[in-house]
Structure 1
């Protein structure tokens, strides 16, 4: 196994375990066991757990933002497509809320590298919403709806929180005279 394969296996194991069970609940030995990567190589690739957590979140961020961007790009009303995409995500069997908010909730302002990834993710989400919103104030309102729906869905998984947030977004679009999104 080369370093690229080892890194991929470590990140796969870290993502599955950290997202399902929490960052603090999962030790490096468990990541090693689940990935099948020797401990020496694990620590060569990720010298500290913080580095592995940051790498896991960075990879998740790229995939998550790309999926959302793809969903809204072809949509007739991109601002509403966000919530359709969220409804699908909230319905996934392993959905456990926002990995970035979960990490921040567990670690707070702890490891700087992890906090940087969390902040970058939220900045990217804000930028995406700004890019598809007909007005800057609407982007901020959509951000609050996205984040709120995600937190509610973490406690009560399924599409309902996204659909309620979508209905609120539709009202905001109408109220602002942005019926075309």
Structure 2
């Protein structure tokens, strides 16, 4: 990726995630990225395209983070619980502001079908990932759905409360669910 595009996406990601997409205008984004307005528009035809590119990067970061967390575990059960360790590590960062996809959907999902589609695809991708891990552990789809709800709820709870321990509580609940379903 070229440095101009990266500068725009870095600035957009930071500003949108900190303040919200609708609160950040193109002029502010141009200034924060250090890119001329003409160059910004040569990279992206409009704000919606920038938001979609930011979400694409966020999705890649999410997938990579989950993969790294799972790689540290050998058992399917350990890989499932590693999801909550990944969340706990994310929640304690100063930059945590909730799920960028939920935030974007809340702001623009009703007016931008593309944003809604990308948010839904991201959430479906996570569900598919958990479905696969649960199947590897010998579990069923209902268990996978319950674990995803715990992870999603932990993200929202932590973002709203400003307290990171939601991941710890969700992990404890997940361990109970996994044991009940698999033992």
Q: Confirm or deny a common fold (TM above 0.5).
A: yes
Match of 2:28 in 1: 30
CA distance in structure 2 between the partners assigned to 1:70 and 1:86 by the alignment: 12
Q: Give the stretch that moved more between structures: 9-18 or 126-135.
A: 126-135
Q: Offset of 1:111 from its aligned partner? A: 1.6
Deviation at 1:35, TM superposition (A): 0.5
Between stretches 72-81 and 120-129, larger displacement belongs to: 72-81
Whether 1:82 and 2:92 are equivalent positions in the alignment is: no
Residue 118 of structure 1 is matched in structure 2 by 119
User: Offset of 1:177 from its aligned partner?
Assistant: 2.5
Residue number in structure 1 paired with 2:147: 142
1-structure distance, mates of 2:176, 2:15: 39
Query: How many Å apart are 1:145 and its aligned residue?
Result: 0.3
Q: What is the count of residue pairs matched by the alignment?
A: 176
Counterpart position of 2:159? 154
The Cα of 1:157 is off from its aligned counterpart by 3.0
In structure 2, C-alpha distance between the alignment counterparts of 1:74 and 1:139, rounded to whole Å: 20
RMSD of equivalent CA atoms: 1.3
| Match for residue 5 of structure 1 among 3, 7, 10 | 3
In the alignment, the residues of structure 2 paired with residue 72 and residue 156 of structure 1 have an alpha-carbon distance, to the nearest angstrom, of 27
- Contact 2:109–2:115 (CA<8 Å) still a contact in 1? no
For structure 1, which segment, 72-81 or 39-48, has the greater mean C-alpha deviation from structure 2 after superposition? 72-81
The normalised TM-score by structure 1 is: 0.93
Q: Is the 8 A contact 1:61 1:121 kept in 2?
A: yes
Kept after mapping to 2: 8 A contact 1:51/1:113: no
Structure 2 residue ranges without an equivalent (≥5): none
Aligned counterparts of 2:62 and 2:181: Cα–Cα separation in 1:
29
Deviation at 1:4, TM superposition (A): 1.6
Matches within 5 A, 1:91-102: 91-102=92-103
Structure 1 position 44 matched with structure 2 position 45: no
